Chain A
Amino acid sequence: MRVNEMEPQDTAFVPADSLPAAYAHQQQDTRKEWDTNELESIPTAGLFRQVAGRFMKHRLAVIGLVVTFLLLITGLLAPLLTPHSPYAVTTSFSAAPSGDHWLGTDQVGRDVLSRLIIAARVSLIVGFSTVGLYVLFGTLVGLISAYVGGWLDMIVMRVTDMFMAFPFLMVILVVVSALGASLKTIIVVLALFSWPAVARLVRSSVLSLKELDYIKAGRALGYSAPRIWFRHLLPNAIGPIIVNATFGIASAIMSEAGLSFLGMGVQPPTASWGNMLSDAQSLTVLTDQPWLWVPAGTMLLITVLAINFVGDGLRDALDPKS
């Protein structure tokens, strides 16, 4: 037993005797904590406006966005923009750039510029639909896995382990070659081996979010599980998903180009920047006909670079801490 006349150390306890008096003192103003006129009734800028504001300060990201936008327009209007038909074979094979064919012709005599323009479609379609597919799937899986927990979570995590242990490009090559290369296959296969990263990302943010009181409040208010998932968990986890998706578009475009370069992707006569570059595996093309491969490679670089800049800007804009 210890005798102590000093104030106790446990500050967690509020003084018992002193408080009621203090409370009574303030009895009259229970309802009003501040003057109502203090708050003007102008709605505050929503999250979107705040993020957009921060994004706009990021110079490279804005340039990236403009370039991406131009590429999208090019892709959409491609058939109207091509000076020649991208598939029409002419008699001038591997001709150097001229007034008629600004970027020359390829080995079977097709206009390189037209093929370059139409190939933007392939890249953008692959980029956006692959990411759309796997981000949707990965988000759902991660969300449900984390929210439900237990055995389901355990199994889902082992499955993602499995998919993530495959060396990416190698397994995609094998699968695409097994299933036969087509645009659809490429998209599905790229998505098949990309969703686990998103699922893990979403899972980890949901795991920390679901312990927060506002999720518990939702349960106490009897909200349905989908309402909690889509209205409370997802909006608070969306930032990293968007950033991941943006970088994902760039990497899907790069993967498709790699596959096509190796002859396992988009097959000629359909034009893709990757398969246009694959002509340069012959030394004569590489040495003497740079118009056949330099433009396609440059377009790929510009596209991927622009999208990566957008992703970087979004990351900074969505996470104001960094």
Chain B
Amino acid sequence: MTTEVVNQESAHNAHHALPIARLDNVRTYYPIRRGVFSRTAGYVRAVDGVTLNIYPGETLGLVGESGCGKSSIGRTLLRLEDVHEGRIWFEQEEITHFSERRMKPLRTQMQLIFQDPYASLNPRQRVGELLAEPLRAHRLSVNAEIAAEVDRLLELVGLPRSSKDRFPHEFSGGQRQRIGIARALSVQPKLIVCDEPVSALDVSIQAQILNLLQDLQKELGLTYLFIAHGLGAVKYISTRIAVMYLGQIVELGDKNRLFDSPRHPYTKLLLDANPVSHPRLRVREKVVLDGEAPNPASPPRGCRFHTRCPYAQAKCREQEPQLDGSIHAAACHYPLW
């Protein structure tokens, strides 16, 4: 598979470059309101101290169970959620407290692709209008060129030109996702946060969309933050992978190394939880991920994973492990290697 080789090379180069975006100890909390006066009774700690670099040209996969805060990371990076603490950088500029007005030019630099292709397109807009609107809002094309630009975008994502006269509900899930991708591309962004872009689609369509994303990356030199709860898509498209648990990153490393020899017990359990395609490979013993993740409003003391970790020791209940600084980093007192 040639694409993978290319991706790995670019990943290697990436580490020498400056990050295109950076989260520095970011916390995103959602208030829980309760009682007679809706006072804030506590916080859901969706993102709880995440530091992450995204390098130009790479695809950083972000995986974890639902509710672990992975989507919140994407939205926080795009400044769609308020940051409780920490700093956000984009291309050497700190944007943590940028006003909506100062964010506006940056909105063309960073874009978002959504999970649900049914909810992410305005049902009242024809596709042509939907794609032309960003161009108008940012004055990216003069009026005379907008139609041609819309045609170009449709072609880029593999939709016929006639699509522009139709409404979103006339398209299938995969086609709608292509429209969503075209809309994200319309402002010519450098970084795209893909928030579970294929998990709502049929498996056969998933492959087409993933391949499209890869082709677009090559053609346009895009950087992806690829969020998913399924390891399959992430393994296929990513160069590096970050594993998230309860608002924190527990393991971060090169895709192949992480898949071949995970360091964090949680990563290992996630990998083992995936069915093995070949029956003969299924014989090896598996440790199974038991129960549900604890409530992110009151995460456990010590290591957050200790309540479900098969290898937990006394230290894990007391002390919170930090992500070590190595190239293949893990936040665990007793990593698997």
Contact = CB atoms under 8 A, between A and B. Distances in A.
Direct contact of A and B (CB under 8 A): yes
Interface of A: 1-5, 7-8, 10, 12-27, 29-33, 36, 39-44, 47, 212-214, 216-217, 219-224, 227, 231-232, 235-236
Contacts of A223: 133, 137
Nearest to A5: B282
A13 B107 contact: no
Interface of B: 1, 66, 75, 78, 80, 103-108, 110-112, 114-116, 119-124, 126, 133-134, 137-138, 157-158, 160-163, 165-167, 170, 172, 174-175, 178, 180, 183, 187, 199, 203-208, 210-212, 215, 229-233, 235-236, 259, 270-271, 273-278, 281-283, 285-290, 310
A26 B232 contact: no
Q: 10 tightest A-B contacts by CB? A: A222-B107, A31-B158, A14-B232, A14-B230, A18-B277, A213-B120, A19-B232, A43-B165, A23-B207, A41-B162
A232 B122 contact: yes
11 contacts: A5-B282, A10-B273, A23-B210, A33-B205, A39-B166, A44-B166, A214-B119, A217-B112, A221-B137, A222-B107, A223-B133
Contact of B165 (A10, A12, A41, A235): A41
Contacts, number: 180
Contacts of B183: 217, 221
Given A31-B212, A213-B119, A8 B273 contact: yes
B307 to A, nearest CB: 14
Contacts of A39: 160, 162-163, 166
Contacts of B271: 16
A180 to B, nearest CB: 43
B266 to A, nearest CB: 14
Given A39-B160, A216-B112, 8 more contacts: A12-B199, A13-B229, A14-B230, A14-B233, A29-B208, A33-B172, A44-B126, A236-B122
A29 B120 CA distance: 25
B286 A5 contact: yes
A33 B158 CA distance: 7
A12 B236 contact: no
B174 to A, nearest CB: 6
A206 to B, nearest CB: 14
B80 A216 contact: yes
B236 A221 contact: no
A2 B290 contact: yes
Contacts of A29: 208
A44 B276 contact: no
B124 A47 contact: yes
B116 A213 contact: yes
Contacts of B290: 2
A222 B138 contact: yes
Contacts of A10: 273, 289
